[in-house]
């Protein structure tokens, strides 16, 4: 009996976390979808293109178009690595889902502005490091589909030198 309990704890419960996270992708509220998405980004400490354990959790929370853009970028990145093994490939580091390269340490999701099947959710971001604090707002653009509200793009709203600018989809297309 003890073996069965240990087996269940070791193998079934860890997998259920991933399943539950994936099920959260079909949120009926765009602000909740944004909160869950940013929480998962922070939990996995995603830098560069989402890969590994983060990808199967994050992908269901995104639109098919954004997933396709990220997959195209991943293929381009792999091709770059093959062609130029001694150079730093695109999208290998930095927070692609935020204006600040290092990404936020904390965030607060604001009220969604919903227009039909599209929503914009401002996210207040804060990063304190070495006594310096950066505060900014980015906007998650969501669309409502069969899976509920999903992330379709990120609009970088921070305004400082070397900030990510434009949108995530534009940044992913920039290397093409």
pLDDT in tens, 38-91: 999 999 999 999 999 999 999 999 999 999 999 999 999 999 999 999 999 999
**Under DSSP, is residue 123 helix (H, G, I), strand (E, B) or coil?**
strand
pLDDT range class, residue 175, cuts 50, 70, 90: low
Question: How far separated are the first and last CA of the chain, in Å rounded?
Answer: 57
pLDDT value of residue 119: 98
pLDDT value of residue 20: 36
Domains in the chain with CATH codes: 2-173 (3.10.450.50)
pLDDT (average), residues 137-164: 94
pLDDT at 23 over 60: no
Beta-bridged to residue 126, according to DSSP, are 106, 135
pLDDT in tens, 81-134: 999 999 999 999 999 999 999 999 999 999 999 999 999 999 999 999 999 999
- Kindly report the pTM of this predicted structure: 0.82
pLDDT value of residue 1: 40
Provide the greatest CA pair distance for the chain.
61
């Amino acid at each position: 009996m003890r073996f069965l309990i240990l087996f269940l704890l070791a193998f079934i419960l860890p997998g259920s976390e991933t399943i539950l996270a994936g099920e959260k992708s079909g949120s009926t509220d765009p602000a909740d979808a944004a909160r869950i998405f940013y929480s998962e980004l922070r939990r996995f400490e995603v830098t560069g293109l989402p890969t590994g354990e983060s990808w199967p959790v994050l992908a269901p929370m995104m639109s098919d178009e954004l997933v396709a853009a990220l997959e195209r970028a991943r293929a381009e990145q792999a091709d770059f690595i093959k062609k130029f093994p001694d150079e730093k490939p695109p999208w290998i580091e930095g927070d692609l889902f935020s204006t600040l390269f290092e990404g936020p340490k904390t965030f607060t999701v604001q009220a969604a502005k919903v227009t039909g099947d599209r929503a914009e959710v401002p996210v207040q971001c804060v990063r304190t490091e070495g006594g310096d604090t950066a505060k900014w707002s980015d906007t998650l653009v969501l669309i409502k589909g069969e899976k509920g509200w999903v992330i379709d793009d990120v609009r970088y709203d921070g305004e400082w030198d070397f900030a990510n600018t434009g949108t995530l989809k534009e940044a992913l297309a920039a290397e093409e």
